[in-house]
Amino acid sequence: MSAFATLLHKELDESRRTLRLPVVLGAFLFLGILAPLMAFLTPNLLEATGNSTLAAALPQPTINDAIDTFVKNIDQIGSFIAILLAMGMVANDRERGTAAFVLTKPVSRGAYLAARFVPLALLLGAGVVVAAVVTYVYGSILFTTPSGGGLAAATLLLWLSLLVPAAVTFLASTVCRSAMVAAMAGFGWWVASSLVAALPGTGSNLPGGLTAVARDVALGGASGAVLLPVATSVAIVLLALGAAWATFRTQEL
C-alpha cells in the first residue's frame, strides 16, 4: 500500500473515531431538513408572531422556496463548516509535532498534504449529498417533487463552492502556524467572494456566482452560465493546493 493510501485510510478512520464524520453529516442533515420546513412554516410563523398582514401578503410557499433556502443554507452555513474543518488541518499538526513525526517516515510532503485535503473534500461532498437527499424527500412531502437531475447537478456545484473556501483556508493553515489565523483568512475570502459575486457582470463568473447558478440549475433553469464560475473555482482550488505544496515542501517543521 502506498504512503498516500495508508495516510488516507488513517485520516478516514480518525474522522469516524473522533466523531467528526457523524457530527458533520448530522449538521448537513439538519440543513437539509430545515430548508423545506422553513419554507413551509414561514407563513405560520409570521402569523404566530402577530404579522398576519404580512403573512397574508406573501405568496403561498412552493418547492422553489425550499430549494432556494437549501442553496442559501449550504452556501452560508456549509462554507462556515468547511472553513472550520480546514483551519487546523496542517497548522495543528505542526503545532503538536505530528507533521514532523509523520514525515520522518517514507512519506512525501505532497502525499501528506493530499491525505489531509482529500478526506476533507470527501466529507464535504458527503455532507452536501445528505442535505440534498433530505431536501428532496421533505420537499416532495411538503410541496411537489423537485427535479432529481437538477438537484443532483446543483449538489455538485455546491460541493465545488465549498471546496474553494476549504482550499483557501487549507493554504492558510499550511502557511501559518495558527489555526485561528487560517480561519480568519478563510472567512475573509468567503466574505470578499460573496461581495464580488453581487457585482454585475464579472461577479457571476467567479466562485461566488456558483450559488446563483446552483439555484437556477436545481429549479430547472438555464445552465449556460455554468462554465466560467466552475472553471474559475476549479482553478482557485488547484492554485491554492499547489501553493500549499510549494510552501510546505520548503518549510522547517
Amino acid residing at 19: L
pLDDT in tens, 53-71: 655 666 788 899 999 999 9
Q: Binning pLDDT at 50, 70 and 90, where does residue 244 land?
A: very high
How many other C-beta atoms are found inside a 10 Å radius of the C-beta of residue 54?
12
**Are the beta carbons of 146 and 218 closer than 8 angstroms?**
yes
pLDDT in tens, 217-241: 988 776 567 888 999 999 999 999 9
Residue 212 has pLDDT above 70, yes or no: yes
Cα atoms in the 13 Å half-sphere on the side-chain side of 135: 35
Average pLDDT over all residues of the chain:
87
pTM: 0.91
Q: Report the SS3 class of residue 11.
A: helix
Amino acid residing at 127: G
pLDDT value of position 54 = 54
pLDDT value of position 72 = 93
**Helix locations, 87-147, DSSP H:** 91-96, 98-102, 109-142
pLDDT value of position 154 = 94
pLDDT value of position 87 = 95
Q: Binning pLDDT at 50, 70 and 90, where does residue 134 land?
A: very high
The closest of 177, 204, 207, 175 to 190, measured between CA atoms, is 207
**Are the beta carbons of 57 and 137 closer than 8 angstroms?**
no
Higher pLDDT, 52 or 205: 205
pLDDT in tens, 87-104: 999 988 888 887 777 877
**Are the beta carbons of 112 and 99 closer than 8 angstroms?**
yes
pLDDT in tens, 5-46: 888 888 888 888 888 999 999 999 999 999 999 888 876 665
Average pLDDT over residues 181-200: 89
Per-position b or e across 8-23, b if 16+ CB within 10 A of its CB: beebbeebeeeebbee
